[in-house]
């Protein structure tokens, strides 16, 4: 979604540079409030649980760093960032690890078998 600063073009003529910057800053603050908390602020909601980093997830569940990164990228492991560092919550990783990896009754090959496609004649 693209947010535009809704100011008349001739407003630049009547405002000093400081006043214009103040108006832009107020609009930025307003847009931040409307969009809700940033994804990296979600750690504030779980005050009873300390976040863990990728290395600790690897050690606790005996996973490779690449596996943890793949699970993070495909959305299996919920995560958040503080700066450039990636963090997880132990409870969320544990819940993701306990979820079944495939639907019950599936073969697990990743291929779907719908049977043969019916032949459609050109006359129809």
pLDDT digits (tens, 9 = 90+) for 8-25: 555 556 777 888 888 888
DSSP classification of residue 15:
S
- Which pLDDT score is estimated for 48? 78
The pTM score is: 0.48
Res. 28: pLDDT tops 70: yes
| Domain residue extents for the chain | 9-37, 46-99
Q: How many CB atoms lie within 10 A of CB 104?
A: 5
Q: Any residues with CB less than 8 A from the CB of 102 and at least 6 apart, and which?
A: 108
Structure tokens at 65: 């760093």
| pLDDT > 70 in the chain, percent | 59
CATH 1.10.3470 correct for 46-99:
no
User: Which pLDDT tens digit goes with each residue over 71-113?
Assistant: 999 889 998 888 889 999 999 999 988 887 665 555 555 555 4
């Amino acid at each position: 979604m693209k947010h535009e600063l809704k100011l008349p073009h001739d407003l630049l003529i009547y405002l000093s540079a400081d006043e214009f910057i103040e108006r832009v800053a107020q609009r930025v603050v307003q847009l931040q409030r409307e969009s809700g908390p940033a994804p990296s602020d979600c750690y504030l909601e779980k005050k009873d649980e300390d976040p863990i980093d990728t290395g600790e997830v690897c050690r606790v569940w005996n996973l490779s760093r690449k596996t943890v990164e793949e699970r993070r990228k495909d959305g299996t492991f919920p995560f958040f960032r503080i700066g450039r560092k990636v963090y997880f919550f132990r409870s969320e990783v544990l819940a993701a690890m306990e979820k079944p990896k495939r639907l019950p009754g599936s073969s697990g090959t990743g291929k779907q078998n719908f049977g043969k496609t019916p032949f459609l004649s050109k006359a129809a």
